[in-house]
Every structure is written in structure tokens, then in C-alpha cells.
Structure 1
Amino acid sequence: MWIIPMLALVFCLLGGRNDGSPLVAINLKVARRVTAIPFVMLSAAVALLPLANDRVGATVVAMVTPDGQADRGRLLLAAVLVAASATLLVLNGGGVPTSITLALVGASSGVGFAGGQPNWHLVLRVLGIAVLSPLAAFAISRTIYLLTHSRTPRSSTTMVFLGFLLTCLAYGSNDGQKMIALFSAAIGTDLDTATHNGAITATVTAAFLAGVLTGMPKGATALQRGTIVPDSRQTWVTLWAASLAVLISSMLGSPVSMTQSISGALIGTCQTNDWRKVRWGEARRILIAWAATLPMAWILGYAAANGLDLLPL
């Protein structure tokens, strides 16, 4: 039965490559030097923040384990992990981070449909909040940007660091819970036990950190090729606004996408003349990746649920 926990760790590693490396790259770009501090901060948040709140984790467990029978439920969980991981591998292969939440929602709903027990109420609730989160980030960033004034480079650097700290807290409270929840379900342990077990959190965090480290080249490239090249003020406003939107979603117990929230917040910092600076080709690539995530994960989840019964898991 070791295959299913390994699949969960692979998903955690891919989460680090998809989300973690671009977040660290933002901090390193502003600091203009490579240090271990952002890696440690983000990893610590993933390990410790799930202790404070397990609402997102409980939602993820309910979403990916739709079957009440233990053996069949583990097979379906394996199908979700395979489908979601394959989706991330395919879409992230082009260097564009996509939404882990959409991959999970698509895979779990596809698996649930194949298994005859789709939890449409939960899926629609998660999707609804996932759509609202980047919109909320846009509104928050627009408000902050209009109410603040230009700052000196030194004070902006401080604000970026504080924004990254807030980003770590938001990421740990949302994506950290996703990863712990998936691994706890994979090893057959309840979520509360998993979040308080040092060995489990260390294992999940190690897989996540490995993904961040191996994804750094693509993370830095994705940052350089982003839709907008933000100044220091836009950077810290974006981080603060996206983090607040994700923290609100975490309080509601819903998994959301940090990358989508950051994109929404970044757009909120654009002035009228900034639209000419948007790299529309990159924006199109990101939108295509997001649009493809849900249906691709659904199809793969449906196929995996019908095929994994033949494997000796």
C-alpha cells in the first residue's frame, strides 16, 4: 500500500514546483541575492500553519475521498492523485504555473462521477470560492494601491519582505493544509493526528521543498516572462492583497489558488497607461493553462478511476 502515499508525496513535490518556486523567486528578485531565508520561511509555513486551522484540510479530505468503503476509497484517492499530478506535469511543463485547486477539483469530480458518487455540492462550493478569490484579490489590491503613495526603495523593500511573510502564512494555511490532508488520507490517518505528527509534517514539507528547489529555474523564468514587470510598489501591494484574499478563503474552509490570487492582485495594481506594458502573449498562455486544468483533470480522473481497479494497490 506504499504506492498511494508515494503518489501523495509526488503531488506535494509538484506543488512546490508549481507554486513554491515562483513565490520564492519573487522574494529573491527583490532581495537581489540568493539566501536560504525565503526557502526556510515558506517551508516552515507549510509545516506549522496547518496546526492553527484544519478547515481547508477537512474540505480537501471530503473532496478526494468520496467513497465510504476503505479499500475502494483508497483506490479512488489514488485515481485523484494520479489525475491531478498528471495535469500539473503536463501544464506546468511549459513553465506556466497553473491552479493546484482546479486540478484537485477536476480530478476528484471526475473520479466521483466514475465511481457514481460525485459530491456536486462540495465541488460547486469550492469552485465558487476559487473564482471569487482572484476577484477579491483584485479589489483589495486596487484599494491598497489607490490609498497608498509611492515609497522610497528602502521602505518598499521592507514592505515586500512583510508581504512575502504574509504570503507564507497564507500559503501554509491553504496549500499547506491541502498537502497534509492528501498525505494523511493516503496513509489512512485522520487529519488532526497528521497535523500534530512531526514525522508526517516533516515528510510532506521535505517533498514540497524538493519541488521548490528543483523548480527554481522554471520559477525564475516564469517570473521574468510574466504578464507584467511590476515595480517594487506593485510587488508588495500584490503580495499583501493576494495573501489577504487567500487567508479569507482559508477561514471559509475552501482551497484556492495562490497563483490565481496573485495574478488578480497584480492586475489590480495596473494604472490606465500600464495596460500597454502587459505581455498579452504570456497572459494568453496562463489563461489557456487555467482553462485547460479543470477539464483535463476531470477526464484524467474519470479514466484513472476506471483503470486503477486493475492495479494491486
Structure 2
Amino acid sequence: MSEDVVLVIVVITALAFDFTNGFHDTANAVATSISTRAMSPRLAVGLAAILNFAGAFISLEVAATVAGGIVESDVITTQIVFGGLIGAIAWNLATWWFGLPSSSSHALIGGVVGAAFVAAGPDAVLGDGLLEKVVIPALVAPTLAFLVAGISILVTYRLVGRQRPGVVNRGYRLGQVITGSMFSLAHGTNDAQKTMGIITLALIASGHLDADGFDVPFWVIFSSAAAIAAGTYSGGWRIIKTMGSRIIKMDPAQGFSAQASGAAVVLTASHLGFPLSTTHVISGGVMGAGAAKRLSAVRWGVAGNIVIAWVLTLPCAAAIGGLAYGVSRIFGEGALGPIVVALAVTGLIAAAFGSRVRRGPAITAEA
């Protein structure tokens, strides 16, 4: 009975993370379209939410990686999964607070790795899987998006350089509706699966699913899709501002190139089962589109702050995840520990948001 209570808490916490993933990563899909006025903010966010929901049903390759390719399934307990989710949620909210586009994917993976490390030692972490499925793609994907977007914008300017700006901009704004939709679909395909994978991992750990096979229940797919779509629709406006205008002052052609390159990279990664950071990808695309036009067009100080957040995500989320697991284990293996930690985190979040309302806007990446 106690194990079932812990499982319910884990599922609720996972869906809460999925919601924060949605509003934290809204900027990835819509910031470029909003900044170039290809779509109004509400239309862009609404369309992104719908396509995030639809994308979650396309593939399960990433979910399989998260459920079995990063940590040893045999040593995972629902308390470990809970600790990892707390680490991911805490890091998502911290970076949202400062308007920094960090990786929700790496926050989740880092949180689970940290909790598993504290619980069962280094043998619980699949080092090869972490390197091949997470670290290497984290380096390759934004670099690839940077190069593809840069080449794309150079070709674009050569093709339309002598055309009237008004006609060209209208055409690329229309194209951004298409590429933005593709990126939103890709985001749902990759990011929603991480929550599916983590819930499936909890179901296996609690004995509700067979560990020998990988079968994600439909209710897990549907609830994960709905949670990320709801989070996306709520809109992470602080990060949208950073992504859309603080890295570069973007024109429609640059927005089109960044979105198209990002969508291609994320869809390819989802097909191969890599739990990619859509934040890394679209940021690389935006920087590439700006740098190809003129190196000074990119605000490298803001870009540097974003890179620092990327580097810190895995270790910081792991540290928080390990701490959350350790605190919950003080109260034993039952439901009391997760309940105490969940209430404490909820109280801290409420206090922080209340403080923000009283003090006004917080520091952003531009500061």
C-alpha cells in the first residue's frame, strides 16, 4: 500500500515536471516566430501546444532510452525516481527565474543520475549510455544546428539579396509558420517522451510493469502529452524574450533558418532515440543564423550566460536530485519521505513566487 502511495506521488511529480518542461521550453518553438512577427504570441503558443501534444504520439524511442539506457533499471526505486524529478523541477524553475534557456532534458537525466548515484553508488549509472546518448549529442546537436542555420542564411541572402525586403519578409514569415510548427511537433516527439520514460521506469521499479519488455501504457502517453501541452500553452515569457531578441535581433529569414535547422536536428535525434535538448538545438540555430550574417550581430555575453547554464545543468540537477533522495530516505522507504520533500519544495516555490510578486521583475540573462 505504501509503495502504491509513493508511485502516485511520483506520477504526479513527473507530470508536474512535464508541465514545467512545457512552459520552460515554450520559447524553443515560438520565440523566433514571435520576434519576427510571423505569428501573434497567443497564436504561436496555442499552435505549439497543440503540436506538442500531437508529437508525443509519434515515437517511443527516446522514452526507451530514458527508461533503460541511462541508469540500471534493476537498482531503481520509486524514491530514486522521485528524487530525480525534484532535481529536474528545481533546476527548471531556477533557470526560468533568471530567464535562461537551459535544458529540461538534461535536468531530468541529471536529477535521476544524481539520485541513483546517492542510492546505489557509481555502478547504478550507465556511463557509456550517458556519454553516447546524452553528452555527445549535447555537444554535436547545437554545433550542427549552428552550422546548418549559418549555411542556410548565407544561401538565403544570396538568393533573395536583390529582392524587395517587404516581399521577402512576408514570404519568410509564412515559411516560419511551417518551420515553427515542425519544431513544435519535434519538441513534443522528443521532450514528452522523457516524462513517459521516467513514469515507465517508476512503474517497473514498483512492479507494475515487466522489466523484461518495454511497453508504455496509453494513459502514460496521453497524460504526458497533455501535461507538456498545458505547460506550453501557459507560456514561459521570460525565456521567450531571451531567445527571441536578446541573443540576436532577428529578421524573418534568420528565424526561418534557425527553426528549419532545429526541427531537422531534433526529429532526427528522436528517430535515433537520443534524448536531445531542444533548447541547445534552437539556441545553436539562432546563434548560427546571426553569426553567419555578422559575428557582431550575436550578443555573445548573453550567449555565454546560456552556455554556462547548459554546463551547470547536469551536475546541479544531479546534486539536487541526490539531496532530495537523501532527505526522503531519512524517513524510511515508505511514502512519508516523498510527502515531506514534496510539501517542502511546494512551500519554497510558493515563497519564492510570492517574493517575486512583491519585489517585481527578477534578473534576466541580459543583466
Q: Are 1:245 and 2:265 counterparts?
A: yes
Whole-angstrom CA distance in 2 between matches of 1:22 and 1:173:
14
Q: Are 1:207 and 2:227 counterparts?
A: yes
Return the letter of the residue paired with 1:141. Answer: A
Whole-angstrom CA distance in 1 between matches of 2:84 and 2:69:
10
Q: Are 1:76 and 2:71 counterparts?
A: no
Contact preservation (8 Å) 1:22, 1:222: no
Aligned CA-pair RMSD: 2.5
Return the letter of the residue paired with 2:51. Answer: A
Displacement of 1:304: 2.5
CA gap 1:220/1:141 in 2 versus in 1, 3 angstroms: closer
CA gap 1:182/1:20 in 2 versus in 1, 3 angstroms: farther
Displacement of 1:223: 3.5
Partner secondary structure for residue 246 of structure 2: coil
> Which residue does 2:314 correspond to in 1?
294
> Which residue does 2:290 correspond to in 1?
270
Return the letter of the residue paired with 1:210. Answer: A
Q: Are 1:7 and 2:27 counterparts?
A: no
Equivalent residues in 2 for 1:1-313 (5 A)? 1=5, 2-29=8-35, 30-36=37-43, 38-63=44-69, 66-68=72-74, 73-114=77-118, 115-116=120-121, 117-125=124-132, 126-148=134-156, 149-150=159-160, 152-186=168-202, 192-194=215-217, 197=218, 199-271=219-291, 274-311=294-331, 312-313=334-335
Return the letter of the residue paired with 1:179. Answer: T
CA gap 1:232/1:96 in 2 versus in 1, 3 angstroms: same
Contact preservation (8 Å) 2:247, 2:298: yes
Whole-angstrom CA distance in 1 between matches of 2:147 and 2:269:
15
Aligned residues: 307
Displacement of 1:42: 2.7
Contact preservation (8 Å) 1:239, 1:262: yes
Percent of counterpart pairs with the same letter? Answer: 26
CA gap 1:32/1:251 in 2 versus in 1, 3 angstroms: closer
CA gap 1:232/1:212 in 2 versus in 1, 3 angstroms: same
Displacement of 1:173: 1.8
Which segment drifts farther, 266-275 or 283-292?
A: 266-275
Return the letter of the residue paired with 1:118. Answer: V
Displacement of 1:238: 0.4
Partner secondary structure for residue 290 of structure 2: coil
**C-alpha distance after superposition, 1:14-40 (max 9, x if no partner):** 10121124523433442353444x344
Contact preservation (8 Å) 1:4, 1:187: no
Contact preservation (8 Å) 1:65, 1:77: no
Contact preservation (8 Å) 1:50, 1:177: yes
Displacement of 1:281: 2.8
Displacement of 1:172: 1.9
Displacement of 1:289: 1.3
